[in-house]
Structure 1
Amino acid sequence: MYDKYFNEKDDNADTLINLLPKHKLEIIYQLNTFSQEQKDKLQKACPTWTLRDENFQDCHDRYLIIDNKVEIILTSGFWYLNNLSKEITYIVRLIKNSRFNN
């Protein structure tokens, strides 16, 4: 997951809680983009989630990579997924290699 402004909106943790399945999964995110409060909230909502930070290359848009098979590109931050007064555009595409693989 890549959104270098993720920690600027506390509601972003709620967006992930509502969006992602409640079974075991690993969330890999850009280094220093989740606040400690967001990480605590996510772990409390679903203790089987593993949170891990990585240092991705700097990218323009926001990305959600699912199992290195599907890439969802958001033109605005994750916060807009819960904001009904704003519009958001996204692209979903199958990928062979994620741009975030090191």
Structure 2
Amino acid sequence: MRRYYDSETLKSILGQKTSLEYSDDLECLSKNTIYKIILSEKQYNFPYVNIFEDKIENNFTASFIKNEDRKKAKEHLKAIFLNANHLFIYDKFINKNQKQFIKFAEECFPRKKLNIFYPIENGMKFPKNLCSNLKNIYKEWLVVENKDAEINEKYDYLHDRYIIVDKKIQIILTSGIDNLMNIKKDFTYIIREL
């Protein structure tokens, strides 16, 4: 179904500088929007994004420039972790940044029974001292290598860092946990429902 807008309505939606005509179709209109997409229930081909099933998704994202306070990001992650039972941590630099990870766990992980899983591939196995440091924060945290074959296969040789919460939520940390805790560099995280 095509909808047509008069030039005044188009100007209010798209701004004053538009060469669009009131008879332009949705594809033409989408080229003049910020996101360049059209939400659809039935179509999949770009510029259409199927609202029920598509690779282009609506996720929660926060970005911080260097020297910008990350308190709100930590509070957000802490709230997500509060009811978690299982966390899978994928960060290929975790062994180099153990102090920052311990600080992150102290600030953000709930003080309750919690299973913390890590991959065993690519040198990301948590060393014994990291496991014991985590257990020293809270005795009921179980820190073990991940045995879930599906997760191990999916999260292998990846660039970004990930935290999977109860196999329901995926947190993508584009520059690692260390840059959440250290404000010297930029930091972005994305939260997706699995």
TM-score, with structure 1 as normaliser: 0.84
Out of 43, 46, 53, the position equivalent to 2:145 is 53
Larger fraction in strand: 1
Q: Percent same amino acid at aligned positions? A: 34
Out of 62, 81, 95, the position equivalent to 2:161 is 62
Aligned match of 1:80: 179
TM-score, with structure 2 as normaliser: 0.46
> What secondary structure sits across from 1:16 in the alignment?
helix
Coordinate RMSD, CA, aligned:
1.4
Task: Show the 5 A alignment for 1:1-102.
Answer: 1-11=89-99, 12-31=101-120, 32-33=123-124, 34-54=126-146, 56=152, 57-95=156-194
- Gapped runs of 5+ residues in structure 1? 96-102
Runs of 4+ in 1 over 6 A off after TM superposition: none
Q: Which amino acid aligns with 2:106?
A: I
Counterparts of 2:141 and 2:170, CA distance in 1: 20
Higher Cα radius of gyration: 2
Offset, 1:35: 2.1
> What secondary structure sits across from 2:95 in the alignment?
helix
Aligned length: 95
Contact 1:4–1:30 (8 Å) recurs in 2: no
Counterparts of 2:91 and 2:185, CA distance in 1: 18
Counterparts of 1:54 and 1:26, CA distance in 2: 10
Q: Which amino acid aligns with 1:88?
A: F
